[in-house]
Structure 1
Amino acid sequence: MTDYIITGAGPAGCALAARLSEDPSVKVLLIEAGGRDSHPYFHMPAGFAKMTKGIASWGWSTVPQKHLNDRVLWYTQAKVLGGGSSINAQIYTRGNPRDYDIWAYVHRCAGWSYAQVLPYFKRAEDNQRFADTYHASGGPLGVSIPINPLPINEAFIRAGQEYGLPYNPDFNGARQEGVGHYQVTVRDAKRSSAASAYLKPLRGKRPNLTVRTGTLVTRILVENGRAVGVEVVENGEKSEIRCEREVIVSSGAIGSPRLLLLSGIGPAAHLSEVGVKVVHDLPGVGENLQDHLDVYVIAECTGDYTYDNIVKPHRTAWAGLQYLLFKKGPVASTLFETGGFAYADKSARSPDIQFHLGSGSGIEAGVARLKNAGVTLNSAFLHPRSRGTVRLKSADPNNHPLIDPNYWSDPYDRAMSVEGLRMAREIFRQKALQPFILAERMPGPEIESEEELADYVYKTCKTDHHPAGTCKMGVDDMAVVTPELKVRGLEGLRVCDASIMPIVNSSNTNAPTIMIGEKGADIIAGKEPLPAVNLQPVPELTQ
């Protein structure tokens, strides 16, 4: 019998499985509903362009968003070994130090301050450029800078400075604000996903680690107040798998609350409503959903300055040869390699807008593609006050969950999103980009008023793929897990992924989720935490 069952081989699940199985006396079973990451698209950095369009995805959407004129948004959630780290844009950002200090000091999650989690970011990291207080090399996860940024990317960095933002060579260092190139989870021109970083090197070398793909966990088995195993469906056959120590739920900010609810763990009224037997009344499960809403500007270029025309057959062939022979060119690009952080609200605790410069138009699902070469600037508001839910449609595990991010339910989020859109437009109008940009096409220069911009956002906005918070960590009545990641009121059950975040971090979520897996493994194994980094304290924290 196995000791630990981990449900979900996403960023946290892969890190957990690798770290827990370092002890040869412990048997670990990692279960993933999706398949293996064998397709070449998973390993080519530019393969991201295919991913948001449905490859290796659950195929879920939101419920109609009542504050966005009832829009239904496509909601990409990974279904593959490596989870989101196998299909994302490979941007390596951690958020702001204040995010984690808020976890620790406002939400009273002892042990999760920035000084205390930074060592786990560093333990995970194999950074090819930085080695200092904030970075390290030798870890599993490859982190690099873009190898061949386009001239328009460099012009964007100059334009950002003309707009008034400082140049920043390291968004994960001493300062977050500014513009520059992102660090990316790429090593030797290949995606460094959690699967390739943590699991691939162990293949055939860890007899105590078993990885099962194509296996759907449908229920956690609870007996006498203790999780004792899981129910799974594999090749259409249902069976039970039991464990000696713990079940660790690591299925993501949508999948983890969904699995708990299907198991009868969650708000009793909702469970009864959908026909699930109540095993443990825990009101916070599926509450507190937070996500970054993405709005964007698309401009037409004066020439062939981005990757839009790579789709032409002869150019696709040449791009493939470039990649195979020289590990350069469009295929080696993550397509969102440059960006920055800024303030929409000058009184915000930390930068509240993130920019992602897209090297083309129509890169992501649902985003318009121009006839001629274009360039995209995404803007995401990072401190949403709106809170949503994850609920079940029925007791049938084959039914899609009801995902309601409840975007813009707080008017402040709307105001800041629109301000971020205005800021993106202004950066595109700076002198440095004039040789590259012919005209703004979306929303278009004729769109100026608050209501016109909001109407444009209603029609075009999308998720930034950063859901979090649905099994939040804390000590209040709505907390799902303790700071030790234990599900409150049950034994032998923990949650370890982005769902435990009390507030979503102020950036992309892949690196923090891997950190949660790294730190969670030490907590579960009963190890002493890594020594905190000696940093200056941050005063006067607010949510």
Structure 2
Amino acid sequence: MPSPDILIVGAGSAGCTLAHLLHHQHGYSVTLIEPGAAENPEIVAATEIDHTRPARWLKLLGSSSDWNYATEASKSLAGRSLNCPRGRGVGGSSRINAMIWFSPTDDDFNMFSAAAADDRWSTESLRSAYQAAERLVQPESARWISDPAERFLQAATPFGTPQAYRRMNRNGRRWSPAALVADSPGVQMIRGTVDRVLFRDDQAIGVQLADGSKIRGSKRVILSAGSIASPAILMRSGIGPRDSLVDAGGQAWLDAAEVGQRLQDHLVMPVVFSTNPAARFDLNVSPRDLVRFDTLGRGPLASNIAEAGGLFANDTIQIHVTPTHYLRFPQPGAPAAMTIAVNPARPKSRGQLAIRSLDANEPPQIDLGYLADPADVATTVAGVKLARSIAMQSPLRDWIGPELVPGAKRDSDQTIAKSISRYAQTLYHPVGTCGLGRVVDADLSVIGTRRLSIVDASVFPELTVGNPNAMVIALAMWFADQLAGTC
């Protein structure tokens, strides 16, 4: 097999976008590597209805499309371990997420610029990359939103600028960057799990798969496997904190203490209100609504559940609104409810990731450090109070019923904080384990190596204030332009 110019590990949002751009726009030969399906083709095909109908995306969590990771049990979360969904298959986490397209803010761009300390990372350059990403993705305005979301948009106006989220949809159906690869017959796809990067001295020359086979890349190896898998691959390759690698049975030929560190995620607290049973959101739609979706891409099946929200309190709190009981939907018997879920937009808490062994098939140790910084607790408490204030505005006030979670009786900061530790959930936004300026340099090359780059959410210096997928794709756009003609 001839060696491609570019070898990309991971076919998520970044990997698929890079493969498309580097091959079609810049003329490189590209091989893209993504693990195969977890189960047989018949089981995978049975989930296709959940992939194409946005309202069914929660059904994908825990399915064969999910790596089914879990976090370490956390004292700050009342001893709970949380699911840590990561998409499996071509498209990565864009196969199983809520499809929200959230535009990065100027503060987000400035964060990257400051971390890179390089003129190529100017706010103007990043904004241009984002605009190119938006033209590529063509995010779609909501084609249907529920009554609770409509009411929230009116009730929240005095507190900020609420929005019905744009979505990575086409004609009301899920769209992911996997489509870019499907439309790129010149990109070679190999299904397999990458064990490690292969080096000649400090130069990356290819990868070794878990089955022992080796694949070479003549010009560049790019890790785009995400904030969980990219640092794990580095560690199995001998790049990481020396003591941690020794504990896992390996050794560090490059002692890189920051690999796997400063892991972050958005932690969301649901404030759930009961609603009239007639308003219950149900995936079992009427024949009329099924035809409506199949022909027009509209109606309840076009809902992405997390339909509306936005940034509030000077961009310190993000809100996501669902027409459901956040903790129980889509379980059978979930009560009629709506949720105003709140989270610190840029949390201060940090965790870490480590490999348990050198086995590429063993899940890593994921400690997200949720609520380790008291400021995150205080911001989330403020968010709960904000959600309650919004709920007391017309036209929500006379429409909702009693507060179910955390419950109106929990009205002090202390009792709200205890409820947060019991009920808060991940928003599925892990970032930062191979941070810009710490693990990768301004070229997104792994510091201490040659011809090895990382392009995914792991290089984020910190979390973006909103959902990060748009910034991931913008990052791929930026990198593809920078790489063109340099290798």
TM over 0.5: yes
CA shift at 1:434, angstroms? 2.7
| 1:475-532 Cα shifts (integer Å, max 9, x gaps) | xxxx1000110100111100000111111110001100011111111122247xxxxx
Contact 2:431 2:460 in 1 (8 A): yes
Given candidates 501, 512, 522, the residue that maps to 2:481 is 522
Unpaired runs of 5+ in structure 2? Answer: none
Q: Which amino acid letter does the alignment assign opposite residue 172 of structure 2?
A: A
Residue equivalent to 1:351: 315
Q: Using the alignment, how far apart are the partners of 1:8 and 1:303 within structure 2? A: 44
CA shift at 1:52, angstroms? 2.8
Q: Using the alignment, how far apart are the partners of 1:195 and 1:44 within structure 2? A: 16
1:429 aligns with 2:392: yes
Residue equivalent to 1:51: 60
Q: Using the alignment, how far apart are the partners of 2:62 and 2:209 within structure 1? A: 28
Residue equivalent to 1:413: 376
Given candidates 5, 11, 16, the residue that maps to 1:14 is 16
Residue equivalent to 1:67: 76
Corresponding residue SS for 2:70? coil
CA shift at 1:76, angstroms? 0.5
Contact 1:180 1:338 in 2 (8 A): yes
Moved more, 31-40 or 264-273: 31-40
Q: Using the alignment, how far apart are the partners of 2:485 and 2:123 within structure 1? A: 21
CA shift at 1:322, angstroms? 2.6
1:92-131 correspondence runs (5 A): 92-105=101-114, 108-125=117-134
Residue equivalent to 1:212: 190
Q: Which amino acid letter does the alignment assign opposite residue 226 of structure 1?
A: Q
Q: Using the alignment, how far apart are the partners of 2:152 and 2:321 within structure 1? A: 8
Contact 2:280 2:335 in 1 (8 A): no
Residue equivalent to 2:252: 278
The root-mean-square deviation of aligned C-alpha atoms, in Å, is: 2.2
Residue equivalent to 2:435: 472
Over 3 Å counting, the alpha-carbon distance change for 1:368 and 1:356 in structure 2 is farther
CA shift at 1:303, angstroms? 4.3
Q: Which amino acid letter does the alignment assign opposite residue 257 of structure 1?
A: P
1:151 aligns with 2:153: no
Q: Using the alignment, how far apart are the partners of 2:398 and 2:286 within structure 1? A: 26
Corresponding residue SS for 2:279? coil
| Percent identity between the two aligned chains | 30
Corresponding residue SS for 1:376? strand
Given candidates 332, 335, 342, the residue that maps to 2:312 is 342
| 1:454-495 Cα shifts (integer Å, max 9, x gaps) | 111111111111111110111xxxx10001101001111000
| 1:291-337 Cα shifts (integer Å, max 9, x gaps) | 11111111111242341x344xxx36554333113322111111112
Q: Using the alignment, how far apart are the partners of 2:77 and 2:190 within structure 1? A: 40
Contact 1:254 1:390 in 2 (8 A): yes
Contact 2:328 2:334 in 1 (8 A): no
Q: Using the alignment, how far apart are the partners of 1:247 and 1:106 within structure 2? A: 23
CA shift at 1:431, angstroms? 2.3
Corresponding residue SS for 2:142? coil
Contact 1:322 1:328 in 2 (8 A): yes
Contact 1:249 1:494 in 2 (8 A): yes
Given candidates 181, 189, 200, the residue that maps to 2:182 is 200
CA shift at 1:105, angstroms? 2.8
Corresponding residue SS for 2:213? strand
1:485 aligns with 2:440: no
Residue equivalent to 2:301: 331
Residue equivalent to 2:98: 89
Corresponding residue SS for 2:212? strand
Given candidates 355, 360, 368, the residue that maps to 2:324 is 360
Q: Using the alignment, how far apart are the partners of 1:118 and 1:328 within structure 2? A: 31
Q: Using the alignment, how far apart are the partners of 1:407 and 1:281 within structure 2? A: 27
Q: Please give the TM-score of this superposition, normalised by the length of structure 2.
A: 0.93
Corresponding residue SS for 1:403? strand
Corresponding residue SS for 1:241? strand
Q: Which amino acid letter does the alignment assign opposite residue 7 of structure 1?
A: V
Contact 1:302 1:435 in 2 (8 A): no
Q: Which amino acid letter does the alignment assign opposite residue 459 of structure 2?
A: I
Residue equivalent to 1:462: 425
CA shift at 1:72, angstroms? 0.8
| 1:64-101 Cα shifts (integer Å, max 9, x gaps) | 12322322111111112111111111111033211221
Q: Which amino acid letter does the alignment assign opposite residue 20 of structure 1?
A: L
Unpaired runs of 5+ in structure 1? Answer: 126-138, 167-177, 344-349, 528-543
Moved more, 32-41 or 237-246: 32-41
Contact 1:98 1:114 in 2 (8 A): no
Q: Using the alignment, how far apart are the partners of 2:123 and 2:277 within structure 1? A: 44
Q: Using the alignment, how far apart are the partners of 1:341 and 1:493 within structure 2? A: 36
CA shift at 1:251, angstroms? 0.5
1:140 aligns with 2:136: yes
Residue equivalent to 1:299: 273
Paired residues in the alignment total 478
